[in-house]
Amino acid sequence: MKKKLKILFLAPGTSSHSFKWIDFFSKKHEIHWFCEASLRSKKDNIKFYKIRNGIYFIFQPIIFFIKVLIIKPDLIHVHSISKNLFISFFVVIFLKKKVILNPWGSDVFFPNKLVKYLQRLIKNNIIFTDSFIIKKKFEKKNEVFKINFGVDLNFFNKSNNKSFKKKIIFCPRGYDPIYNQFLVLNFIKNHKDELKKFLFVFSGSIHKQEFIFFKKFIQKNKLEKIINLKGNLNKIEYKKYLLNSFLVISASKSDAGLSSSIAEAMSSKCLVLCSNNRDNPYWIKNGLNGFLFKDNDAIDFKKMFFYIASLSSSKTAKIVLKARRTQEKKNNFFLEMSKVEKLYNKIYLKS
């Protein structure tokens, strides 16, 4: 008989990856979630603990250790080793047996000096990753399991309801510089007369200063009729934009595996245009089930965008159907989480 586990997650509160994963296991296990103040949504069956930033960062590992002693978790699962770096150092060094690490693309490909040092300390650990590249990087010195974050195929399924007058171009990755949104913004600025029939919708976690900066850029270049800025959308709002989108764009420089938003777009039978870095070419075959452009290449992005805009509806219908089938075949959320369930129990019995 499988035991109801007590699982402690150290994970960003704004991550759709983390929220979806933790919410799933909260239905079967006792969940404790340590995260920063910004949280996508709260759930009654999950116990939340706020991590204070600023001068409090020095005390984070001590506070975390005290909480571990009180909670006595069966497993500790760390989503992103750099988001709460000093706690990550602590768990890697002192709590190895019961810890699972989930390094993200931004941890591995854009690390600062401290994160690089932490990576060197990761030996004989258990690692989950959705990326072939990260798996290869860590598998010589660690036990690595390839687990996709998955997509809910029933929820993200295309409807024929169109409620916007313009063609929606959806950019849901957020406003952090690693998502490279200014490549898209500069493209819009340089071709605004050719893009009048489109509405570019940006969404995601955004700080006040970032919002002001983006807003000034839009006003200065008179792009108010073409660009709409949104913050974090709830699940229903997000789905509404996704299901009404002609194209979903990710210009991110930091992806390792396939992003949730692109997986959800493919599942929803949307056209997708992504940078060709890391694992994206494994998931997206250019012109067959989506489109890729050269990483951080504005000229290639422009070329691919206008090519996609010129496609016939019969051609796009074939592409989005293949995109959906790719997700059905390789990225079913519930099948991936069933693998994790088995691994959690196996790791617990060994610890």
- Euclidean distance between CA atoms 304 and 292, whole angstroms: 8
HSE of 241, CA atoms in CB hemisphere, 13 A: 24
Going by C-alpha positions, the residue among 27, 219, 18, 286 that lies closest to residue 130 is 18
CA dist list (Å): 301 to 173, 226, 269, 294: 17, 18, 21, 7
Full-model pTM: 0.89
Q: Three-state DSSP class for 272?
A: strand
Q: H or E segment at 49?
A: strand 46-50
Contact 245, 273 (CB under 8 A): no
Per-residue pLDDT of the chain (351 residues; tens, 9 = 90+): 467 999 999 998 878 888 899 999 999 999 999 987 666 566 778 998 888 766 666 788 888 889 999 999 999 999 999 888 888 888 888 887 789 999 988 888 877 888 888 888 899 899 999 999 999 999 999 999 999 999 999 999 875 555 555 799 999 988 888 889 999 999 999 999 999 999 999 998 877 788 888 999 999 999 999 999 998 888 889 998 988 899 999 999 878 889 999 999 999 999 999 999 989 999 999 999 999 999 999 999 999 999 999 999 999 999 999 999 999 999 999 999 999 999 999 999 887
Phi, psi of 147 (to 5 degrees): -130, 120
Going by C-alpha positions, the residue among 299, 259, 305 that lies closest to residue 283 is 259
pLDDT of 2 reads 67
Q: Count other C-beta atoms under 10 Å from residue 309's C-beta.
A: 16
CATH architecture of the domain with residue range 167-330 = 3-Layer(aba) Sandwich (3.40)
Q: Three-state DSSP class for 310?
A: coil
Residues of the chain with CATH 3.40.50.2000: 6-149+333-350, 167-330
Tell me how long the chain is. Answer: 351
Task: Decide yes or no: CATH 3.40.50.2000 for domain 6-149+333-350.
Answer: yes
Amino acid at 318: K
φ/ψ region of 174 (left if φ > 0, alpha if ψ in -120 to 50, else beta) reads left
